[in-house]
Amino acid sequence: MKHTFAWVLVVALFGLIASPALASTKIKIATLAPDGTTWMKVMKEMASEVEKTTGGQVKLKFYSGGVMGDEGDVIRKMKFGQIHGGAFTGRGLGEISPQERVLELPFLYDNYKELDCVINGLSNRIRQDFEKKGFVLLGWVEAGFVYVFTNKPIHKASDLKGVKMWMWEGDPLAKALFKANGLVPVPLDLPNVLTSMQTGLIDAVYSPPYGVIALQWHSKVKYMLNTKLTFASGAILISKKQFDKLSPEHQKSLLTISQKHCRNLTEQTRKENEEAIAVLKKSGIKIMELASPQELQSVKKTSTSIYQTLSNQLYSPELLTETLKLRDQCRSKN
């Protein structure tokens, strides 16, 4: 009897120790965002709240500054289970789900209200496609509206021709856009851009204002074209395999907390992009305007011609039609 009782006690204790409910799950998430930026500040706040809410049973560990490689490297490491998640720009998101790039078509939105309305309308569709590919969307974020930064003044559409523009390596949307406008794309991974600006391999970049400061690119350019060329989307994803290891309660907590902080990050990013333009002016960068409304229309016409070019390559014609219809509906509401 004593031996039986002792054995039951050992089994019970072992069951408690090995219980998944008490096990701590660490989720490793990579990002290109440099440490010290608002992105990393908000992500650390998110990690702290997740750990507190789950009683330490779910912990997020963020790796900043591209230490895990470019976005393509992060995706490959996620597939092999070396890391579990990533904070991606549209470049990385499009590698997983090409149809996501429909959100980043040039001159698609006039303002943030239209942008939010379109993303809300397409979010579930894109979320489902991520899940089919083995990824769970924790929340949408963004880098902001994208501008062109150069070392030569741009006043006419023809001024863009021949400019050596950085192109994120492997980005079909950027390639099509630059080709349409006569730019000379130079494919580079993000970590190699600053060095290439220093050596003269490229003489122009595209980025939201806050991004060009955070990455120190602003120190190597002279001009900013004050035209919202496109929009840089973003999102935090984790592997579905890792997400499924969590209890339903912890899955719900992670999603709720992540979405709250992602929205907070989006609002802060928008504010900082507005403030960054003033900082760029103070640093000596000249803000350029296209010479006339006709020149703007010329750039728009050339840029939006890629909508059909990329149809069936990144997204279906049906999704393009749906997106444009949704954008028009959103525009009429505003």
Q: What is the pLDDT of residues 228-240, one digit of tens each?
A: 999 999 999 999 9
Q: Is residue 166 part of a domain?
A: yes
Written as six digits, the tokens of 288 are 């350029």
Written as six digits, the tokens of 105 are 């078509």
Range of the domain at 162: 25-333
Q: What mean pLDDT is predicted for residues 164-181?
A: 95
pTM of the model: 0.88
* Dihedral sign from CA coordinates of 125, 126, 129, 131: negative
Given a cut of 90, is residue 110 above it in pLDDT? yes
Q: Which residues contact 248 (CB under 8 A, 6 or more apart)?
A: none
Q: Is residue 4 part of a domain?
A: no
Q: Is residue 151 part of a domain?
A: yes
Given a cut of 70, is residue 262 above it in pLDDT? yes
**What's the CATH number where 103 sits?**
3.40.190.170
User: What three-state secondary structure class fits 162?
Assistant: coil
Q: How far apart are CA 33 and CA 225, in angstroms?
A: 24
Q: How far apart are CA 248 and CA 194, in angstroms?
A: 44
Q: Is residue 314 part of a domain?
A: yes
Given a cut of 50, is residue 20 above it in pLDDT? no
Average pLDDT, the chain: 92
Per DSSP (E only), the strands in 55-203 are: 58-63, 85-89, 135-150, 164-168, 184-188
Q: What mean pLDDT is predicted for residues 164-184?
A: 95
Distances (CA, A) of 110 to 173, 182, 259: 19, 24, 25
Q: What mean pLDDT is predicted for residues 47-55?
A: 97
Q: Is residue 16 part of a domain?
A: no
Q: What mean pLDDT is predicted for residues 214-228?
A: 95
Q: Is residue 138 part of a domain?
A: yes
Structure confidence at residue 7 (pLDDT): 43
Q: Is residue 5 part of a domain?
A: no
Given a cut of 90, is residue 24 above it in pLDDT? no
The share of the chain scoring above pLDDT 70, in percent, equals 93
**Count of domains observed in the chain:** 1
Q: How far apart are CA 276 and CA 213, in angstroms?
A: 8
CB 116 within 8 A of CB 266: no
Structure confidence at residue 19 (pLDDT): 45
- Sequence letter at residue 266: T
* Dihedral sign from CA coordinates of 188, 192, 193, 198: negative
Structure confidence at residue 323 (pLDDT): 97
Q: What mean pLDDT is predicted for residues 250-277?
A: 96
Q: Is residue 104 part of a domain?
A: yes
Structure confidence at residue 23 (pLDDT): 65
